[in-house]
Structure 1
Amino acid sequence: MLKPIAALVITLSAISAATASSDDAWAEFAAEVEEGCRAATAEMLPDATVTVDPFGSENYGLAIVSGETASIVCVFDKKTKAVEIGGELEVTVTPVAAQQG
């Protein structure tokens, strides 16, 4: 009886550690996308807010960089780390956290 309980505890510990590691990896990925997109748009939108899709697509990190009067779509290649941006859109995006606070 003790062996199955020990096995369960070890399994749950491993799952917990993997989840924490995965959460840390996604947070690191989001920070990398934000940094790359902020740098790529700094001249056009100097005091911008960057809203990062927390997971992106299969191949790309995705973000919307918003200034006072315009926003820019930003794409971050997960493999090469290259950043590409679209043109300025006459739309601004307000992050949900800013709307609530």
Structure 2
Amino acid sequence: MLKPLALLAISLGSITAATASSGDAWAEFAAEVEKGCRAATADYFADPTVIVDPFGSESFGLAIVSGDTASIVCVFDKQTKTVEIGGELPATVTLKAAD
């Protein structure tokens, strides 16, 4: 009986460690995306707000970088670590109802 309990304890311990390191890895990833997106939009915004999708897509980190009057979509390539940005989008968007 002790052997199965020992195995269970070891298994649970390794799951907890994997979860913690995985959380740390995602936090590092988000910080890397934010840093890259801030640098890529430095010519547009002096002190932007950066909202990073915590996980991104399978291939890309995603963020929205916003200033006072506009926002820019930022895409971070997970493999090459390069950043691309879209054009400026207005800060407010008016949606029309379908007819």
TM-score by length of 1: 0.89
Question: Corresponding residue for 1:51?
Answer: 51
Structure with bigger gyration radius: 2
Question: Corresponding residue for 1:15?
Answer: 15
Cα distance per residue 1:43-72 (max 9 Å; x no partner): 101110000000000000000000000000
Runs of 4+ in structure 1 off by over 6 angstroms are none
Q: What secondary structure sits across from 2:88 in the alignment?
A: coil
Question: Corresponding residue for 1:83?
Answer: 83
* Residue type at the aligned position of 2:89: L
Question: Corresponding residue for 1:60?
Answer: 60
Q: Given that residues 61 and 75 in structure 2 are in contact (C-alpha distance below 8 angstroms), is that contact kept between their aligned partners in structure 1?
A: yes
| Separation (CA, whole Å) in 2 of partners of 1:72 and 1:25 | 25
Q: Given that residues 70 and 90 in structure 2 are in contact (C-alpha distance below 8 angstroms), is that contact kept between their aligned partners in structure 1?
A: yes
Higher strand proportion:
2
Shift of 1:83: 0.1
| Separation (CA, whole Å) in 2 of partners of 1:78 and 1:54 | 13
Q: What secondary structure sits across from 1:72 in the alignment?
A: strand
Cα distance per residue 1:19-53 (max 9 Å; x no partner): 00100000000000000000000110111000000
* Residue type at the aligned position of 2:5: I
Q: Given that residues 68 and 91 in structure 2 are in contact (C-alpha distance below 8 angstroms), is that contact kept between their aligned partners in structure 1?
A: no
Aligned length: 92
Which consecutive residues of structure 1, in runs of 5 or more, have no partner in the other structure?
93-101
Q: What percent of counterpart residues are identical?
A: 76
Higher helix proportion:
1
| Separation (CA, whole Å) in 2 of partners of 1:81 and 1:50 | 18
| Separation (CA, whole Å) in 1 of partners of 2:46 and 2:40 | 10
